[in-house]
């Protein structure tokens, strides 16, 4: 039985416009802008921790040592050798890469989710979120990967006074006194030097391993985030159905974004180790591709080698993801034109409407 509504034509038109605007979100510049700003904000805030993670993961290449330094030992090493500047080496390419991947990730994600929900409902649920996040991050990889190569090489170099590693292979110097690559004074110098020495292949070193890490990471993060939002909503409906209390979108983004980022980061740590090793090794080839890297790391260092830097990686991603999701929610709530306030929107009941614009009676 359908109950006719006197406002059904207007509601139907509004619903149609809503669907059209949702499908068109991919082309709205604001979504790309908010994602870029949030990504750069998170990277800039957490870059020192990323530097520690990168150095821990790459020390087997730089020093040939299989003994992993702890986080505090690495912090002390960086501080004593390079001071505060050492923690922020590579921050410019890091922010540049995060601008690109943040824009495509958040700008592409909503429209992709809507497209999958509308065109491929069988995928439905959280799988649509996984695919949306994976596709958005893949698009940003064309800018992100070269920036990541430059960033990580600058991170392991520190300052000019402390950069003098031997080129190692099988824990032995390849050439006495030889260096892996020269010291980079900045982002453009790094890009030009890598291009001159290794060409496009050098700038995209570890590209497949980066996709192998970031595609599942991006998909898992948005899937966990949406799942946690659903759990939060379900918990409120079950245990506090009559409560007028609503969770702030900023707090929701901060807490749930951090949890989603931390879980995803730990699960993809082995892929991150492989990517870092391939990008840091330079022209002196130690690993011939990511499959060879996985095999050799497992053979020489065991499972522990694949999870090197997992603690600083999680320590980086929990606050970075929290800050990023919080920033996106803040920008959407305060600067998106024509958007309803989150608290007011939660008060609007979800009415079942059929294709004719009629409100269906709920049994």
pLDDT band at 219 (very low <50, low <70, confident <90, very high): confident
Query: Quick one: pLDDT at residue 192?
Result: 93
Averaged pLDDT for residues 230-251: 77
Q: Is the pLDDT of residue 140 over 80?
A: yes
26-159+183-336 adopts what CATH topology? Answer: Mitochondrial carrier fold (1.50.40)
Q: Can you give the residue ranges of every domain in the chain? A: 26-159+183-336
> Which residue would you say has higher pLDDT here, 27 or 190?
190
Mean pLDDT comparison of 71-75, 103-107, 206-210, 266-270, highest-scoring range: 266-270
With pLDDT > 90 as the criterion, what percentage of the chain qualifies? Answer: 17
* Averaged confidence pLDDT in the chain: 77
pLDDT band at 210 (very low <50, low <70, confident <90, very high): confident
Query: Quick one: pLDDT at residue 171?
Result: 47
> Which residue would you say has higher pLDDT here, 93 or 167?
93
pLDDT band at 239 (very low <50, low <70, confident <90, very high): confident
Cross-strand bridge partners of residue 169: 172
Cross-strand bridge partners of residue 173: 168
Dihedrals φ, ψ of 66, to 5°?
-95, -5
Write the pLDDT tens digit of every residue in 276-314.
Answer: 888 877 776 678 877 888 899 899 888 888 998 888 889
């Amino acid at each position: 039985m359908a109950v006719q509504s006197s406002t059904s034509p207007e509601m139907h038109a509004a619903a149609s416009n809503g669907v059209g605007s949702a499908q068109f979100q991919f082309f709205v510049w604001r979504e790309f802008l908010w994602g870029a700003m949030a990504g750069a904000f998170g990277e800039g805030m957490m870059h020192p921790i990323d530097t520690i993670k990168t150095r821990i993961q790459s020390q087997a290449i730089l020093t040939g040592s299989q003994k992993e330094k702890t986080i505090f030992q690495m912090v002390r090493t960086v501080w004593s050798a390079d001071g505060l500047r050492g923690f922020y080496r590579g921050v410019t390419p890091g922010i540049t890469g995060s601008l690109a991947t943040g824009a495509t990730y958040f700008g592409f994600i909503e429209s992709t989710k809507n497209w999958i929900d509308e065109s491929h409902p069988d995928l439905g649920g959280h799988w649509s979120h996984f695919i949306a996040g994976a596709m958005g991050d893949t698009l940003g990889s064309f800018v992100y990967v070269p920036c990541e190569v430059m960033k990580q090489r600058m991170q392991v170099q520190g300052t000019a006074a402390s950069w003098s590693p031997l080129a190692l292979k099988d824990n032995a110097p390849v050439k006495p006194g030889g260096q892996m690559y020269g010291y980079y004074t900045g982002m453009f110098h790094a890009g030009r030097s890598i291009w001159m020495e290794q060409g496009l292949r050098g700038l995209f070193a570890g590209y497949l391993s980066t996709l192998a890490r970031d595609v599942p990471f991006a998909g898992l993060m948005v899937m966990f985030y949406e799942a946690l939002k659903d759990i939060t909503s379900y918990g409120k409906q079950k245990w506090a159905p009559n409560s007028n209390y609503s969770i702030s979108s900023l707090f929701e983004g901060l807490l749930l974004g951090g949890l989603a980022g931390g879980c995803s980061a730990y699960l993809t740590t082995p892929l991150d180790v492989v990517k870092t090793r391939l990008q840091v090794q330079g022209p002196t080839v130690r690993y011939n591709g990511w499959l060879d890297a996985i095999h050799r790391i497992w053979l020489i260092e065991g499972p522990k080698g694949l999870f090197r830097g997992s603690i600083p990686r999680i320590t980086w991603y929990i606050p970075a993801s929290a800050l990023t999701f919080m920033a996106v929610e803040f920008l959407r709530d305060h600067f998106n034109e024509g958007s309803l306030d989150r608290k007011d929107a939660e008060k609007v009941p979800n009415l079942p409407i059929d294709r004719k614009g009629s409100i269906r009676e709920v049994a």
